[in-house]
Structure 1
Amino acid sequence: MSKRSATEIRQSALKTPTSLSSNAVKDISAAMTTALADVFALYLKTKNFHWHMSGPHFRDYHLLLDEQSEQIFAMTDDMAERVRKIGGTTLRSIGQISRQQRILDNDADFVAPDDMLAELRDDNKQLVDSLRELHDLTDEAGDVATTSLIENWIDEGERRVWFLFETLRKG
């Protein structure tokens, strides 16, 4: 009996059985992990703007962003666990999130409320667009469960875009 290295043992311990091809697992896991980095970035930006909201519509905007941040954060566990269910691995650190995120941070000392809402509207739309691309990948691979989850996330994202868009409309 041959001895396996510690690395081989660790790698095999994380290999969840799946009927998806190894290439599909690799591609979907990588794409989902990048999307997860975007979701964490969007979550933190939404909370940042929630914490730093000001102005005459403070309460309404503060509550809207709190609701949206909760919805965004709720995606994270489902995304990461879906990657693990198909036999992949996902995010391990804040550093990895910062290296993989495509949604840009906003570290400005002050952002006007309308600018906050417009930026979040655009970021949510960017996330929806990337989820559509991910949907194509999972659908092509026959990963019905991930595809179904993504459809719900797209719908939730479109709702956030819609609410932010309508909140910004004047008169």
Structure 2
Amino acid sequence: MTTAEKLATPTDLKSNKTKDVATALNGILADSYALYLKTKNFHWHVSGPHFRDYHLMFDEQATAILATTDLIAERVRKTGNTTLRSIGDIARTQSIKDNDEKFVSAADMLKQLRDDNLALVESLRELKDLADEAKDNATSAIVDEWTDAAEERAWFLFEAAQNA
């Protein structure tokens, strides 16, 4: 039995379009890991007058982002495809930019994370269209939840930035 046969998950989704869905899901997965780590980085390094509020909000958001990663990867596998395997895969696939600066102001942290979450929303909307074209109802349905969560994070970051 070949490796491909060992990983061949039974599915009724036979369309070649499911490969496009899996590719998009892997992009969302890579961006979710990149956004998770950036959010944790800012959680660890935030400073200033609203330290506690931002520190806690970044931690809550990072936890929520990380919780989606397993669901995303499992969705890829349920469609009979394979997912990311390493930090290298993430780095090659992610579109969200890392932030390696030694110091980032709290206001810039809020803006970057808001923009990153909005970029994720855009990618999720594109994934939704691909899933609908592939008649992948389960992916289409769960993407709605991920979109709503990313929109909520962007909203909270926007509102917090009003006083930053």
Per the normalisation by structure 1, the TM-score is 0.93
Give the structure 2 partner of residue 4 of structure 1: none
Give the structure 2 partner of residue 123 of structure 1: 116
Give the structure 2 partner of residue 34 of structure 1: 27
CA distance in structure 2 between the aligned counterparts of 1:55 and 1:30, rounded to whole angstroms = 40
Deviation at 1:16, TM superposition (A): 0.6
Deviation at 1:9, TM superposition (A): 1.2
How much is the aligned-residue C-alpha RMSD, in angstroms? 1.2
Deviation at 1:47, TM superposition (A): 0.2
**Which of 152, 158, 162 does residue 145 from structure 2 map onto?**
152
Give runs of ≥4 in structure 1 deviating > 3 Å: none
Letter in 1 for 2:128: H
CA distance in structure 1 between the aligned counterparts of 2:163 and 2:64, rounded to whole angstroms = 26
**Which of 53, 56, 67 does residue 60 from structure 1 map onto?**
53
Q: Is the deviation greater in 20-29 or in 64-73?
A: 20-29
**Which of 86, 96, 108 does residue 89 from structure 2 map onto?**
96
Asked whether the 8 Å contact 2:43–2:54 carries over to 1, the reply is: yes
Asked whether the 8 Å contact 2:46–2:106 carries over to 1, the reply is: yes
Mind listing any 5+ residue stretches in structure 1 that lack a counterpart? 1-7
Per the normalisation by structure 2, the TM-score is 0.97
| Superimposed CA distance per residue, residues 60-115 of structure 1 (whole angstroms, 9 cap, x where no aligned partner) | 00000000000100110000001001100000000010011000000000000010
CA distance in structure 1 between the aligned counterparts of 2:14 and 2:3, rounded to whole angstroms = 21
Deviation at 1:22, TM superposition (A): 4.2
Who wins on radius of gyration, i.e. which is larger?
Answer: 1
Give the structure 2 partner of residue 15 of structure 1: 8
| Superimposed CA distance per residue, residues 144-166 of structure 1 (whole angstroms, 9 cap, x where no aligned partner) | 11111100000000000100000
CA distance in structure 2 between the aligned counterparts of 1:170 and 1:88, rounded to whole angstroms = 45
CA distance in structure 2 between the aligned counterparts of 1:144 and 1:163, rounded to whole angstroms = 29
Asked whether the 8 Å contact 2:17–2:133 carries over to 1, the reply is: no
Percent identity, aligned pairs only, is 59
| Superimposed CA distance per residue, residues 29-56 of structure 1 (whole angstroms, 9 cap, x where no aligned partner) | 1111111000000000000000001011
Q: Matched residue of 2:83: which SS?
A: coil
Number of corresponding residues? 164
CA distance in structure 2 between the aligned counterparts of 1:75 and 1:24, rounded to whole angstroms = 23
